[in-house]
Amino acid sequence: MSEGQSGGTINKWRAKAKQAMGSLLNREDLHTEGKLEERTVDAATQAQQRRAEAARTEEKASTEAALRENQLEAERLEAERLADERRQKVERERQQTEQQIESRSDQQEQAVDQQAQRKQHEATSERIDAAADRAQAEQEATHLEHQAEAAKAAADALEARRQES
């Protein structure tokens, strides 16, 4: 029991006592004064109870408001976390796409380089083959020239012998 409640209870007993004394002494004014004091005590008690109820209601509302604020903050933080996750995912996907593009580009460059090397090798092989063919043709021409010179020399020698004979 609080101090206000005990004071209210004492005042209520005092008011009841005045009423009883007024009835016993046949004094209407004392009886009425006791009734008025009792009503005053009841009104004060009721006002105190209403203030206490209002304080509880206010505390409850304050607690609920704090809970709502906490909930809103938690939702905001969750939204930020999800947004960060989305940004990170987009960044990872962007990096993967860039890596894939770079890899394809590297592969295409390698393919172009390999094709250029094959073409260069083919051209070198063709030049070597052409040079070998030319060298062989020159050897054959030289050989044929020697044979022709030998045949001419033999023909000249035969001609000279025929003219001598």
pTM for this prediction: 0.44
Question: Phi and psi for 98 in degrees, rounded to 5?
Answer: -60, -40
Q: Give yes or no for a contact between 15 and 38, defined as CB atoms under 8 angstroms apart.
A: yes
Give the pLDDT of residue 9: 85
Two tokens, residue 82: 């999800």
Domain span at residue 96 reads 3-164
Total structural domains within the chain: 1
Mean pLDDT by 10 residues, the chain (165 residues): 65 89 92 92 92 96 97 98 98 97 96 95 93 92 91 86 81
Give the pLDDT of residue 5: 61
Two tokens, residue 41: 């005590």
